[in-house]
Amino acid sequence: GAGVSQTPSNKVTEKGKYVELRCDPISGHTALYWYRQSLGQGPEFLIYFQGTGAADDSGLPNDRFFAVRPEGSVSTLKIQRTERGDSAVYLCASSPSRTTDTQYFGPGTRLTVL
Amino acid sequence: GDSVTQMEGPVTLSEEAFLTINCTYTATGYPSLFWYVQYPGEGLQLLLKATKADDKGSNKGFEATYRKETTSFHLEKGSVQVSDSAVYFCALHSNTGNQFYFGTGTSLTVIP
């Protein structure tokens, strides 16, 4: 079946602009995670959804970052007033349920802020 | 807080050599432990996992044993192949929270 997909694969924006990154999880997966991966680093947790609600947003670095999952499937990560330090690969992962802790990762969106 | 410390790379080995990539962790509670692999141009994939102490995860000839006494989950393979060239990430998921914690990754290159 289809895996986790993310769009766009690459996004180049200017400092101060607003961006949206989209994640389509595997159908039926209730858990969804967003991560940020900087060059040479491992994925860094941002936010976790169980269904439609953000069960844990403690990894969001500041209030410029926000994510939604209104229907419990597709999720959008939103970044306001982008800064050069936001440049990274943003990864999405989904899992069948909270108790099934194996995650399936998407290919990521590479965000470059000029 | 919870964290994972992973052996730094890059690692370069000849084909058929023995591989060890060290991983130690700090966690409250009883975490599950994972190794993920990222092949060139691809996304992260689960390689193996172990959910409790003394469990051994294995897949594709790779093995790792959950050692609570040494808080370690070292990745091993007896005979590496060129196709094993990738970046390997150790990770943990605590049973007291929702987060996954990843190490910084170890790049492995296997030369013929």
| pLDDT at residue B1 in the model | 81
Q: Which of B49, B102, B104 sits opposite A102 (nearest CB)?
A: B49
At A76 the pLDDT is 98
| CB-based contacts of B58, cutoff 8 Å, min separation 6 | B48, B64
Nearest to A101 among B32, B101, B104 (CB): B32
Given a cut of 80, whether residue A61 has pLDDT beyond it is: yes
pLDDT of residue A1: 55
Closest CA to B33 of B25, B21, B43: B25
Confidence of residue B54 (pLDDT cuts 50, 70, 90): very high
Kindly determine whether residue A44 and residue B45, on different chains, have CB atoms separated by under 8 Å: no
Find the residue in B nearest to A49 (Cα). B98
Q: Check residue B41 and give its pLDDT.
A: 83
- With tokens 């079946």, the residue in question is A1
Query: pLDDT, tens digit, for every residue of A62-106?
Result: 999 999 999 989 999 999 999 999 999 999 999 987 665 688 999
Beta carbons of A78 and A90 less than 8 angstroms apart: no
Local confidence band at B74 (pLDDT 50, 70, 90 cut-offs): very high
CA gyration radius, chain B: 13
pLDDT over 90 (residue B43)? no
- Chain-wide mean pLDDT for chain A? 92
pLDDT at A93: 94
Asked if B64 and B46 touch (Cβ cutoff 8 Å), the reply is no
For residue B99, the model assigns a pLDDT of 81
Percent share of chain B, pLDDT over 70: 100
Residue A107 pLDDT level (bands cut at 50, 70, 90): very high
What's the number of CA atoms in the CB half-sphere (13 Å) around residue B21? 33
Give yes or no for a contact between A25 and A94, defined as CB atoms under 8 angstroms apart.
yes
